[in-house]
Structure 1
Amino acid sequence: MTTITRPRATTRRRQRARTSTHHQAAYPLWFLLPAIVIFTVLFLVPTMSSFYFSLTRWSLFDIEFIGFENFVTFFTEPSLSRSLTNTLVYAVLTSGAKVVLGMGLGVLLTSQIIGRGYLRNVVFFPVLVSVVGVGITFSVLMNPTEGLINQALALVGISGPAWLTDPTLALISVALVDIWKGVGLATLIYIAGIVSIPQEYVEAARVDGAGGVKAFWYVTVPLLWPATSTVIILSLIGGLRTFDLIWTMTHGGPGFSSDVLASVVFKQYQAGFYGISTAGNVVLFVVVTAIVLPVSRFLSRKEAEL
């Protein structure tokens, strides 16, 4: 009896263990199912549909397959293709400025200065304000004749430029407002990164004879690389996808001088060119993916090397 019972008991234990392992492996998958369904319905299906409709001339009642004609029109029409250049310039300009200013303000606002808490609130406050509200406010402030900015410059004998009506300045003017509004978030990220740096590293650098500048460059900056990576990725994505501030302040004008991909897509929808606008959406998706993914991988590799 003993020689028969033991193998059976062992077999049962093994079966229970396999069943338990199977349940443990399958159990978390049920938690993933709602997320997979939502991701499929809200992202995959619309994305695949956009790729298809970008190859058609469509309206609410008619669809005609025309191949890559919408993309050819998009890249051969100067007013449309210029929006791609403007998008890249805008994203690089705003991202670079937020990194530099955010790091500088982060260092300043973690030092022992008077009113540090108040200054932190002042820097972060624009992040909380509505983008549309900021755009309307600065449209008034940057008015070339009645705007407060040019009136203030006139008091010191400077003739203010036509911020939003000069084709060479419109995009840069909107970018400056974007930087003003978004630098608070970058500063907050850098403050969190600076506070987490152990002071022993800075003290060791000073013992070795490094001054304030060298300690900052060789100790603080490398240790802030995770914060820098976060700011770059967030700023790039926001800059490439920008629409609301551009539309509120300039409507893409004067002419097409400040048009970006998102504003061109909206204009084409308004005009009834749904196929071209969908093609613009696809171009925007490809541009964001083609830029952000390699940059993210490069930043991750650099962070691993440090």
Structure 2
Amino acid sequence: MPSESTLKKILNFTKVEHTAFSLPLIFTGAWMGAGDRFPSVRVMLLIVVAAVGARVFGMSMNRVLDRHIDLLNPRTAGRELPSGKMSLALAIAVTLSGVLVYLLACAALNDWCLILSPIPLVPLLGYSLLKRFTPLCHFGIGLCLALAPLGAFVAAAGHPRFPVTVLLFSGFVFFWLSGADIIYAMMDIESDRRNHIHSLPARLGAGGAQRVAGAVHLLCWMILVGVVWLMGGGGPLAWTALFITAVFLLMMYIPAVPVPKRFFPISTLAGIAGALVPMVA
């Protein structure tokens, strides 16, 4: 058993508690896969385990690959690896544990989950590398989370025959998180430019990056409207959830709101509100 201090380091390193903020999106995928209801408790628990395992793998891999870059940025230099609080060997062990938990959960869910399980691992493994090559790196993390409701759909439905509504909802997740990550990267403009790290804020400046993020978020909200329309037009609850989603998305562009708060909790609340839309449509 790891010591209390080691366990605390691992929890800080993986930020596993942040999985809770993606669970509403994952649960919506499961809801749609089970035919507009929640699947069994067993399936839901396994979906959560798979999500936690994937989160631990993705976050840990990101921290391992970025440890030298993090050391150059005052905001991230205190993280476990660049500060020397955690050994690289322990970080790799945590990474491998995450992928093992994820694969075991997929195997326990159904054959299709196991067959398709390597697909999300590719963007989870590589999204942190994109910042070395392209300012479009923000869309890599969007892809990672966009696959989550699709995986939950397969877990609940037992097959990968996705209806258009599920694919559109995945598109909402993709553009929502990609836009939020552009906003988040505004905190590191000077550090990214100094260290030749690619990002849209570093390339376009804060104003240009916000305009791109705004267009991305407008698209994500329009996709969500399309989901409601395809599901029969929705009722008052669906349109209320759409309105709340729009309000939180707009709040991310209020200059008086500090950038860290625009990413969390405001962007998270926009995602949660958006996740409710198909469930109440």
User: How high is the TM-score relative to the length of structure 2?
Assistant: 0.32
Higher RCO by CA contacts (8 Å cutoff, separation 6 or greater): 1
Q: Where is the helix percentage greater, Structure 1 or Structure 2?
A: 2
User: How high is the TM-score relative to the length of structure 1?
Assistant: 0.30
* Structure with the greater alpha carbon radius of gyration: 1
